[in-house]
Structure 1
Amino acid sequence: MPSPEAVCLTIRAIEERGVQVIPAADGDDALSAIKKIIPAGAEVMRGSSRTLVEIRFEEYITGRKSGWIDLHSVITSADDNKKRADLRRKSVTAEYFISGANATAQTSEIVACDASGSRVGAWPFVAGHLILVVGINKIVPDLDSALHRIREYAFRLENARAGWAYGTPSTIGK
């Protein structure tokens, strides 16, 4: 775990890039913050994230308690492959896109990997509002360390998840 000083340094570096950081004491606090940010009736798409499962976000949104439009459920309930593909493309433009990240550098870079690439478009370009839920256990000193964490730790987990979810291994891309 990083020191409190490293956490503060990381938050400061990220905020210097114009990104708002909302520290949370624990998973309950993080879920509470998300509930305050996303208004009722909003379209919400999520990237696959163990962190979101751990803070019970998945349980909350799929339990229909949120009052949000859960685009992931809309996509997975579509019974036509073409319709499902169209919905997936549109989902990256969701009003709110929420996901985790696999590493956060003290120098402000936030890095993620996933088999489908669902975060690739939503993060930097098209989601109306991006919410990243990232545990302090993912803080590393610099970008090289973040990429090392991706290759040596996160990719192994994502590769296993991709095999289970898609029946195919993941790959390391860009």
Structure 2
Amino acid sequence: MTDRAAARRRRQLTNVVKEALRDLNMQMALLNRRLGGKVELKDTEWTCLDLLNRQGPLSPTELARRAGQHPATITGVLDRLERGGWVTRERDPESTDRRAVTVRALRERNQELYRTFAGMNKRMDALCRGYSEPELEVIADFLRRTTEAGQVSTEELDTA
């Protein structure tokens, strides 16, 4: 294969990967919307709850930053999550400001999420069984690096 043909083939494969990522993004958005509908969570609520479950208790300001939302928006999101029994707001014992709070996910509600995600989790387990450990390491590395590229691109858009 010539250098020119190899470069063309690499561009084609890169485009196939980018198209597959776009398809994945769209399918995951649809899945998350449907699953959110089953547990009565809107997209932003779902995102905030996932952040709290995965990254631990956060201040509302930090949650807003990580979710890419305006702090005023987060107030409404937290009100709905709290009414739904998904989160609790607690006074921050380490803060000198008595108004400071930390938001914590209520883990007892996670069983409902696990049941809702059971089908997808089983399919992902079966899919991963078809790959060797070295292949899974490459896939995990690719996904982490894709996430980092998305984070940098998001930050660029925020500063532009």
Shorter-chain TM-score category? 0.3 to 0.5
Larger of the two Rg values belongs to structure: 2
Q: Which has the higher contact order (CA 8 A, sep 6+)?
A: 1
Normalised to the residue count of structure 1, the TM-score between the two structures is 0.31
Which structure shows the higher helix fraction?
A: 2
Which structure shows the higher strand fraction?
A: 1
